[in-house]
Structure 1
Amino acid sequence: MNTIGSQGSPVTGDVWEQQDMRDALAARDISSVYRLLRRHGVSQRQIAALTGQSQSEVSEILKGRQVMAYDVLARIADGLNVPRGYMGLAYDEATAVRVAANTDDPQAEEEESVKRRRFLAHAATVTMGAAVLGADSGSWVSHPIQTPAPGRIGMTDVRQIEAATRALRALDYQYGGGSCRDAVVAQLSWGQQMLGAQGTDVVKERLYVALADLHNLAGWTSFDTGLVDSARTHFGRALELARQGNNDALVANVLYRMGRVYLHQNEPDDALKLFQLGQIAAQESGSELAVAVLCANEAWAYAKMGRDDQALKLLGRTRDEFARADVPNAPGWAKFFDQTDLSAMIGTVHTELAQTVDVKYTRFAIPALTKAIDAYGEDMARSRSFNLTSLSTNHLLEGDIDHGAKVGIQAVDLAEDLKSVRTKDRMRPLQKEAERRRNNPDARDLAERIAKFTAA
């Protein structure tokens, strides 16, 4: 990759050490950074190519437009091969919340709806079999800093990536994406370079799948920490690599996870499109478990739309497909969907229906959620918190306010130990239900506790 400071570049690496450049980087004054690069002979076109921006964006920044979004700052740092620490971008929750909070600025970022359409088009291209590895994937593509990798790889090297992914995924489940996202991205920084190493066809195909799953995890942990653009970047790359590795089941899993991002943003129409696209790959894979996962999430999308007929129909199909699935021998990225998670999804869909269609659905949601909560171990703390939140909502809807508030406090207590933005977002509907019942002291206490937690 042609980076500034590399052989053949018009700017040497010591440019980043000059005081005026270090001051601009520390202040995240990208306008000044770009102007300093121009003085060193770097053209707007070169800056655009390295940072993944359009020339018009670079021109606007040179004219003074501020760059505030964490993802864009990180992409610029990586593209220019600037150590992230020079810009104060070593990941932590405070940085993510403080900087990423500005991503709604229409002058700084594309409209989210445009990004969703771009990703959907890219996903459709990949899923339907087009060769896109290495192609321009759109504005979400980043340029990770690379570290040395072997010139020739064998199956042992690939197994190392797979083992790291399993370990990091376990941390994500137990402590939240913020606990391991940087480690996942660091692993990718090294692993990505293996694509250029020598190896047998069998090794390379398995490498594609291993790296696809690592990008898949990077996307999921980014989503969990509120970094949607980063999630889109990694999911887009995961799709390409999974297709290159001829693994339809993983393609389906990536599409399910990106669909969940849009579901979380209350965009069920766009989420449903990705779930349905994923269903195509799931069917091609022959994996009943992959089909079950997609059906369950399609049901959730329909429930958010208030379509109880379709939601219940798809839940029925989820149960049927799951009953035929070989869960013990499923790949790592799909093993989460066991009997416990099936109960959780049944409870989640009925909770949504209780809010969008009829409160009667609480009678189906409560036993399913209770079953899931009782079965989750400490290694699935985030999932347990989500289900406690939904269970509390159902009890409030039913009028059992005292018990609902008690369960809600349990959800907050558990979530406070997790590094997950999603746990806060998922509590906001519960907070609204508690606020509606403020005349009850337990509901009022719950509402205030959630407000304090989500604002922290």
Structure 2
Amino acid sequence: MRRREFLGAMAGLAVPSQGVARSGEGSRLGMSDVRTMLVRTARLRRLDDYLGGADTVHLYATELAATTKLVRDAGCTTAVRKACTAVIAEQAQLAGWAAFDAGMHDVAERHYTTSLAAAREADDAALAGNALSFLAYQRVTAGKPDVATASASYATAQRWATPKVRVLLLERMAWTHAVAGHTAAADRALAEAAEAARVRDDRPEPDWVYWVDEDESRIMAGRCWTQLRRPLRAVPILEDVLNRYDDTHARDKAMYLTSLAHAYLDAGEVEQAATVTERAARLAGGVGSVRPAEKIRKVVHRLRPHRSLPVVSSAIEAAGLPTTARD
């Protein structure tokens, strides 16, 4: 899909953004406008630290549509248009992530496809790789691990990617391999991610990897090892990081706690698993995301055979699920 096609496809969704001056048809954009768009996109992105996709999906989609209309209608140089198109790619990823988090998978995939087209039009290999990574991550969640797309995401960006971008794409590739049951490939991708994290690079990192740090990397490794049924490796690392992980990041912490709960179950520590599951359920209450509830439900399914234990029945009750398999 070329620029005119994806800009035209998005134009019908355009709604003026609230609180931001938007130039009309015939106006001219410059690099200062691009910087303004990037700053606003960065601010919007940080809402995801505290809110679920159900809370942000319409805001992000509205921003994407308004930016798309603005770029379509305004005049600018080739360089400015390319930079604006990269902003559209970023915003489409935000909109796709929120839709994914809200359980709107068809909408999410459309946004990710839009992002991929925009990133390619902007000649931004890192953004294109990230769009592919999002698509692969979504398919893992749907129970269809797509190793080819996950591998392509890293291959697309590898030559130009900054260290944090490499780390992010490699860790997501490791997750896809882990869910597919590819132990050696998952371990290899995690090792490459750890190596990439040690690389020193003078280039600034894109804002869309601002959250990638050592703790997030350790959590991803722990999740992969849980998925691969390696509780002796998963439990210590997840316990360590989650003990200092702020509860204000309720959605993410709730999901990560379910990985710890699964690891405890694999290690035969049922009561510990139940305690952690109850913490996850209480954190997830009221969060505008379908994902924590889905993950908690899977842990509860494994806990039900032990429902005679008070701590297990308490966890199931906190999750709002029946003690017998009716969900």
Deviation of 1:142 after TM superposition, in Å, equals 8.7
In structure 2, the CA distance between the partners of 1:213 and 1:423, relative to structure 1 (3 Å rule), is: same
Matching residue of 1:202 = 79
Matching residue of 1:304 = 179
Task: Work out the CA distance in 2 between the residues paired with 1:365 and 1:303.
Answer: 13
Q: Select the structure of larger CA radius of gyration.
A: 1
Deviation of 1:439 after TM superposition, in Å, equals 3.0
The one-letter amino acid paired with 1:134 is R
Matching residue of 2:34 = 158
Q: How many pairs align?
A: 315
Indicate yes or no: 2:119 matched with 1:242: yes
Indicate yes or no: 2:239 matched with 1:364: no
Indicate yes or no: 2:99 matched with 1:222: yes
Indicate yes or no: 2:167 matched with 1:292: yes
Could you tell me whether the CA contact under 8 Å between 1:372 and 1:387 is conserved in 2?
no
The worse-fitting range, judged by mean Cα deviation, of 338-347 and 202-211 is 202-211
Indicate yes or no: 2:142 matched with 1:261: no
Matching residue of 1:184 = 60
Where in structure 2 are the equivalents of 1:272-421 lying within 5 Å?
Answer: 272-324=147-199, 329-354=204-229, 361-378=230-247, 380-421=249-290
**Structure with the larger RCO, 1 or 2 (CA within 8 Å, 6+ apart):** 2
Indicate yes or no: 2:313 matched with 1:444: yes
In structure 2, the CA distance between the partners of 1:141 and 1:210, relative to structure 1 (3 Å rule), is: closer
Could you tell me whether the CA contact under 8 Å between 1:289 and 1:327 is conserved in 2?
no
The one-letter amino acid paired with 1:419 is G
Deviation of 1:447 after TM superposition, in Å, equals 2.8
Task: Work out the CA distance in 2 between the residues paired with 1:165 and 1:156.
Answer: 14
Where 1:329 maps in the other structure, the secondary structure is coil
The worse-fitting range, judged by mean Cα deviation, of 150-159 and 247-256 is 150-159
The one-letter amino acid paired with 2:75 is Q
Task: Work out the CA distance in 2 between the residues paired with 1:329 and 1:443.
Answer: 48
The one-letter amino acid paired with 1:398 is A
In structure 2, the CA distance between the partners of 1:192 and 1:232, relative to structure 1 (3 Å rule), is: same
The one-letter amino acid paired with 1:132 is R
The worse-fitting range, judged by mean Cα deviation, of 372-381 and 427-436 is 372-381
Matching residue of 2:19 = none
The one-letter amino acid paired with 1:168 is L
What RMSD in Å do the two structures reach over aligned CA positions? Answer: 2.6
In structure 2, the CA distance between the partners of 1:280 and 1:446, relative to structure 1 (3 Å rule), is: same
The worse-fitting range, judged by mean Cα deviation, of 280-289 and 147-156 is 147-156
Task: Work out the CA distance in 1 between the residues paired with 2:113 and 2:10.
Answer: 8
The one-letter amino acid paired with 1:319 is A
Where 2:97 maps in the other structure, the secondary structure is helix
CA displacement, residues 316-335 of structure 1 (integer Å, 9 cap, x when unaligned):
11211122165993211122
In structure 2, the CA distance between the partners of 1:365 and 1:205, relative to structure 1 (3 Å rule), is: same
Deviation of 1:429 after TM superposition, in Å, equals 2.1
Task: Work out the CA distance in 1 between the residues paired with 2:3 and 2:238.
Answer: 41
Task: Work out the CA distance in 2 between the residues paired with 1:276 and 1:327.
Answer: 26
The worse-fitting range, judged by mean Cα deviation, of 301-310 and 206-215 is 301-310
Could you tell me whether the CA contact under 8 Å between 2:6 and 2:118 is conserved in 1?
no
In structure 2, the CA distance between the partners of 1:436 and 1:164, relative to structure 1 (3 Å rule), is: farther
Indicate yes or no: 2:4 matched with 1:134: yes
Name structure 2 gaps, 5 residues minimum.
17-21
Deviation of 1:432 after TM superposition, in Å, equals 1.6
State the percentage of identical aligned residues. Answer: 25
Task: Work out the CA distance in 1 between the residues paired with 2:314 and 2:210.
Answer: 38
Task: Work out the CA distance in 1 between the residues paired with 2:302 and 2:127.
Answer: 37
In structure 2, the CA distance between the partners of 1:385 and 1:326, relative to structure 1 (3 Å rule), is: farther
Indicate yes or no: 2:306 matched with 1:429: no
Instruction: Give me the TM-score of the superposition, normalised by structure 2.
Output: 0.88
The one-letter amino acid paired with 1:368 is I
Deviation of 1:135 after TM superposition, in Å, equals 3.9
Instruction: Give me the TM-score of the superposition, normalised by structure 1.
Output: 0.64
Could you tell me whether the CA contact under 8 Å between 1:431 and 1:447 is conserved in 2?
yes
Task: Work out the CA distance in 2 between the residues paired with 1:393 and 1:310.
Answer: 22
Where in structure 2 are the equivalents of 1:41-52 lying within 5 Å?
Answer: none
Task: Work out the CA distance in 2 between the residues paired with 1:191 and 1:228.
Answer: 23
Name structure 1 gaps, 5 residues minimum.
1-130, 355-360
